[in-house]
């Protein structure tokens, strides 16, 4: 059983070494534990710090691609290294690495394929009351969209089995946390959650500049994923919203036509015709989107089988310092 702990990092030279040092190197039931750092185009000494802190692998992105794409690149690379279980954690050492054994336990016991670490939101002093409320609200929305019971959807401290990791395909570039849960729920990948601890906050989040931006981006992510994975339901709902007032308007016109000849009510008939036409178009778009979604599912299945059978191994970045290269193998 091989465990790879991946750490996406962007300009984390101050906290990365501490995060790597905290990762346990021995866990019952795990034969090998390796640390993979994904450098998302850092402009500081993040890469050097990773090697100095004894990271086993460092994958450098050619430029800053965003957390979601760095996460996806790390997943593919970890699979190419033969990982049986992949744990994702933050480079700012936000999560308590001592909880990694508890995080992977349901996977080792074959009780789940994805495990999300649930933070004690109510006890985190650095979270304002508004942020705590929004965290709970966002997690509730994700639970509804994914039909899961994950209490802390935005948590980035999570574990994936090899099969689950290969089946996930992140679309947006903002964050992977919400999308992967909704996607896993739609694909019926078994998920669970375990309580985890957090360390003292060392810096504010870099993913968003404030609560309004966080809400807006999260809402767009949830809506986009829902359109991708449940397009027929989405467009049929929109179609019904337009069709209902259109049918009411037609019924109203027919009523007046039967009682007084319909004089003066032609405008409502025209408006109803426009609404029904829009409903028909949305219905047709929903059918096409559903067919595209089915094709996407097939492509994702093919991609998953390729990753598991013949994974594409990215080129690992080797440090220019020969002494460090020899030291890290």
CA–CA separation, 124 and 133 (whole Å): 12
The residues, ordered by sequence, that sit 6+ positions from 251 with a Cβ below 8 Å of its Cβ are none
The residues, ordered by sequence, that sit 6+ positions from 4 with a Cβ below 8 Å of its Cβ are 33, 34, 35, 36, 57, 78, 81, 83, 85, 86, 87
- Range of 118-132, 212-226, 264-278, 307-321 with top mean pLDDT: 264-278
CA-based diameter of the chain, in Å? 95
Higher pLDDT, 90 or 309: 90
- Provide the pLDDT for residue 152: 86
Say yes or no to pLDDT of 295 above 50: yes
Nearest 10 degrees: Cα torsion 275, 276, 277, 279: 90
> Which of 16-25, 73-82, 136-145, 146-155 comes out lowest in average pLDDT?
136-145
Say yes or no to pLDDT of 222 above 60: yes
Relative to beta strand 114-118, strand 158-161 is antiparallel
CA–CA separation, 35 and 57 (whole Å): 6
CA–CA separation, 176 and 187 (whole Å): 16
Q: Within 13 A of 22's CA, how many CA atoms are on the CB side? A: 20
The proportion of the chain whose per-residue pLDDT surpasses 70, expressed as a percent, equals: 85
Say yes or no to pLDDT of 266 above 90: no
CA–CA separation, 321 and 300 (whole Å): 40
Tokens standing for residue 63: 């430029």
Tokens standing for residue 182: 């909704």
32 - beta bridge partners? 2
Q: Alpha helix (H) ranges present in the chain?
A: 16-22, 46-52, 67-80, 100-108, 129-146, 162-167, 177-186, 211-229, 231-260, 266-309, 322-327
Question: Could you give the angle at the alpha carbon of 284 between the alpha carbons of 253 and 180, nearest 5°?
Answer: 125
- Provide the pLDDT for residue 153: 83
Smallest Cα–Cα separation from 75: which of 66, 87, 65, 64?
87
38-79: pLDDT as tens digits: 999 999 999 999 999 999 999 999 888 888 899 999 999 999
């Amino acid at each position: 059983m091989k465990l790879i702990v991946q750490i996406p990092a962007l300009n984390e030279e101050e906290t990365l070494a501490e995060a790597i040092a905290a990762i346990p190197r021995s866990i019952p039931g795990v034969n090998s534990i390796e640390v993979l750092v994904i450098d998302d185009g850092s402009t500081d000494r993040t890469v050097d710090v990773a090697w100095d802190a004894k990271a086993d692998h460092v994958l450098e992105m050619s430029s800053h691609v965003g957390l979601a794409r760095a996460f996806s690149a790390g997943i593919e690379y970890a699979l190419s290294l033969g990982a049986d279980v992949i744990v994702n954690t933050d480079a700012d050492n936000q999560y308590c690495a001592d909880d990694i054994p508890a995080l992977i336990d349901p996977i080792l016991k074959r009780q789940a394929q994805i495990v999300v670490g649930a933070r004690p939101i109510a006890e985190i002093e650095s979270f304002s009351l508004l942020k705590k409320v929004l965290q709970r609200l966002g997690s509730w929305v994700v639970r509804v969209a994914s039909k899961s019971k994950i209490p802390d959807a935005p948590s980035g401290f999570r574990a994936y089995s090899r099969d689950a990791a290969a089946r996930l395909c992140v679309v947006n570039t903002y964050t992977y946390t919400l999308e992967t849960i909704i996607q896993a729920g739609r694909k019926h990948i078994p998920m669970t959650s375990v309580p985890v601890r957090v360390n003292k906050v060392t810096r504010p989040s870099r993913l968003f500049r404030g609560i309004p931006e966080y809400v807006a981006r999260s809402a767009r992510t949830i809506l986009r994923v829902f359109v991708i994975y449940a397009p027929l339901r989405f467009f049929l709902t929109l179609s019904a919203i337009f069709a209902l007032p259109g049918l009411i308007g037609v019924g109203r016109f027919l009523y007046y036509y039967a009682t007084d000849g319909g004089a003066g009510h032609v405008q409502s008939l025209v408006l109803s015709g426009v609404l029904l036409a829009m409903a028909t178009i949305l219905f047709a778009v929903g059918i096409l989107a559903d067919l595209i979604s089915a094709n996407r599912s097939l492509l994702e299945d093919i991609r998953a089988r390729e990753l598991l059978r013949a994974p594409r191994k990215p080129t690992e970045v080797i440090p220019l310092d020969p002494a460090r290269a020899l030291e890290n193998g």
